[in-house]
Amino acid sequence: MSKPETPGTRIVERIAAARAGDEHALEDVIRQYQDRVAGYVVSLVGRDAADIDDLCQVVFVKMALSMPRLRSLDVFEPWLFKIALNVCRDHLRRLRFRRLFVPLSSRHETIPTGQPDDPDTTPGGLDRALEKLSGSQRQLIDLLCASEYSYEELARLTKSSVRAVAGRLFRARARLRKLLSTAEPTSES
């Protein structure tokens, strides 16, 4: 008597087949994860980024090229999200570097420099508050927004302990509450 196939078993089998070189299985894996990876990328680089599709494509290309070196199928999901995190960090690093060399012209002077005082009541206030969190805190909040993970699942995804995850989430939520309850004027240079 064979065991009934569950959705989780099927994706593990498709990941194993993709790792062995099956292109159709690789397409299935990409289809399975494309929405979650896209959501994660958006949470890291922002909704306004024009290159979301390009970044997601880079993530999946890197995943496909590295699949044969994946040691264990149990770590596939954290491994994939780590690839996405690294791709986004590289992208943001390049943007910061590029901004250093953009010449200031007269059209830049018409851009408003002030931000609204109340981040809680303005569109994007939560996004601005999230940007002020540390990278590890923002990563946990982003993962929670993408899917309702348990602390154990978050610990596995971030390769840390449940206690560390609980502490970081507690501090992240406290910081967000503080940022959203007090008007913190931002200055742009």
- Listed residues 68, 101, 134: the one ending a domain: 101
Cα Dmax for the chain? 75
- Pair (95, 129) in one structural domain: no
Can you give the pLDDT at residue 6? 53
CATH code where residue 167 lies: 1.10.10.10
- Pair (52, 93) in one structural domain: yes
Can you give the pLDDT at residue 115? 47
CATH code where residue 45 lies: 1.10.1740.10
Helix (H) or strand (E) holding 155: helix 151-158
Can you give the pLDDT at residue 26? 92
CA distance 178 to 189: 24
- Pair (69, 141) in one structural domain: no
113 belongs to a structural domain: no
- Pair (94, 24) in one structural domain: yes
- Containing structural domain, residue 66: 9-101
Per-residue pLDDT of the chain (189 residues; tens, 9 = 90+): 444 445 567 888 999 999 988 899 999 999 999 999 999 998 888 876 668 888 999 999 999 999 988 888 888 999 999 999 999 888 888 877 665 555 555 554 454 544 444 444 444 566 777 777 777 777 777 777 666 667 777 778 778 888 887 788 888 878 877 877 774 454 444
CA distance 88 to 43: 10
- Pair (128, 66) in one structural domain: no
